[in-house]
Amino acid sequence: MALIIQKFGGTSVANPERINDVAERIARYHKSGHQIIAVVSAMSGETNKLIGLADEMMQNPDPRELDMVISTGEQITAGLTALSLIDKGIQAKSYTGHQLGITTDSSFGKARIMDIDTKILKKDLKQGFVVVVAGFQGLDKVGNITTLGRGGSDTTAVAIAAAIKADECQIYTDVDGIYTTDPRVVPEARKLNSITFEEMLEMASLGSKVLQTRSVECAGKFKVPIRVLSSFDIKGDGTVITFEEDKKMENPIISGIAFNRDEAEVSVRGVPDTPGVAYQILGPIADANIDVDMIIQNVGESGATDFTFTVHKRDLKETMDILNEKVKAKINAREIMGDSKVAKLSLVGVGMRTHAGIASKMFKVLSDEKININTISTSEIKISVILEEANLDNAVKALHKAFELEKG
Ligand code: ASP
Ligand code: MG
């Protein structure tokens, strides 16, 4: 007998038939002797619909009230899933995050889980109930309903798994696992049987949308074993997220190629090379709460530097305004450039730590394809480049082939 958390995403509970299918699956596991806590998302499209309703009431809705509204989607699917289970003869009880004692901080719309009280969960499991939990939500210390950010039900599931020391946290979604890259771009992309937690963290934060990044961070911190599976196929072992010390894992040099089209590139040209310049450029950007991703600085022969960084596309205009109005004259920069027609591509693999020449091979492949690289940055287990968005698909295809990711 194992204690299993099963999380079902929006497409898995999109309508009554699918909720019935989900309940069937939970019932099967339960009947074979496992204890199950199911965490559900809102029906797909529901959270967007609720945000739309809030927008109709007020421009930039008040964050506390917005969370009040958008937390309701999950409550509905939790109740419906429990009803379907009861109808199948399974004892089941559903709870909202607040009923269960999921305590968060007070950052509405992106709250962090501080504590989960496992008393109710343990009592119900002991009595043979399947517990169904509304994902994506909690309660702050003073009793406000909060939500955990888009995709936050993943984090609810992982956090519960950590708190109750579950044997496995299964994330059911509309794909059957984690792929070497997006199969819509590279049809030969291969499902991975396993991926290390660090690689998954990179893949998630670099744009692979299968898991919320914070859920992966949480899994890493508490060593929660996660398995990503399709809710539409009964067989299939999905992809297991392992920890590096696990000797059984497959260990290719490169595990995958992540990309995203959400970033824009900003360049501050001809900046005098003096101490404090980086701070003078990025300070006002940080003050405006704009996240900066890649940062590159280079000193040219003239002693002037070019300072380049990336921000989310939606923040490009504000970033340019800040630089033009508050920074340019102050630091005596020659010009400020912004480009939103770029994309970021990253090669990810723990094997990079021990294998030389990955970067040069990557750059050769791109050069053979006549694809220009604007910006490069690396970490121990990834190499990221910014290139023209129009070249992204070709670059992903060529690299996937060159690194033989389809072979495994
Ligand atoms: N329903 C929320 C969303 O659409 C949370 C989730 O599905 O994980 O983002
Ligand atoms: Mg999701």
Nearest to 179, CA basis, from 287, 255, 99: 255
Encode pLDDT of 239-256 as tens digits: 999 886 555 555 678 999
Report CA dihedral (295, 299, 302, 307) to the nearest 10 degrees: 10
pTM of the complete model: 0.86
Q: How far is the CA of 248 from the centre of ligand 2 (A)?
A: 28
> In whole angstroms, what is the distance from residue 170 CA to residue 224 CA?
10
**Length of the chain, in residues:** 408
Query: Which of 122-131, 150-159, 275-284, 298-307 shows the lowest mean pLDDT across its residues?
Result: 298-307
State the DSSP H helix or E strand holding residue 48, giving kind and residue range, or none if neither. helix 46-57
Q: Which residue carries 């607040």 as its tokens?
A: 98
Pairing between β-strand 113-116 and β-strand 102-104 as defined by DSSP bridges: antiparallel
Q: How far is the CA of 348 from the centre of ligand 1 (A)?
A: 26
As to burial, measured by CB atoms within 10 angstroms (0-12 exposed, 13-18 middle, 19+ buried), residue 211 is buried
Domains contained in the chain, CATH given:
3-174 (3.40.1160.10)
Q: Which string of b and e fits 96-124 if b means at least 16 CB within 10 Å?
A: bbbebbbbbeeebbbbbbeebebeebeeb
**CA angle (407 as vertex; 227, 9 as ends), nearest 5:** 25
Is any ligand 1 atom within 6 A of the Cβ of residue 112?
Answer: no
Q: Does residue 36 register a pLDDT over 60?
A: yes
pLDDT of residue 234: 76
User: Of ligand 1's atoms, which has the minimum distance to the CA of residue 42?
Assistant: 1
Encode pLDDT of 274-304 as tens digits: 888 999 999 999 999 899 999 988 877 777 8
> Position 295: which residue type?
I
pLDDT of residue 274: 86
Residue whose CA is at the smallest distance from ligand 1 atom 4: 47
* Nearest-ligand number for the alpha carbon of 46: 1
As to burial, measured by CB atoms within 10 angstroms (0-12 exposed, 13-18 middle, 19+ buried), residue 40 is buried
Report the residue among 43, 46, 47, 133 best suited for mutation to probe ligand 1: largest number of ligand atoms under 8 A from its CB: 47
Identify the DSSP state of 143: S
User: CB neighbours (10 Å) of residue 321?
Assistant: 11
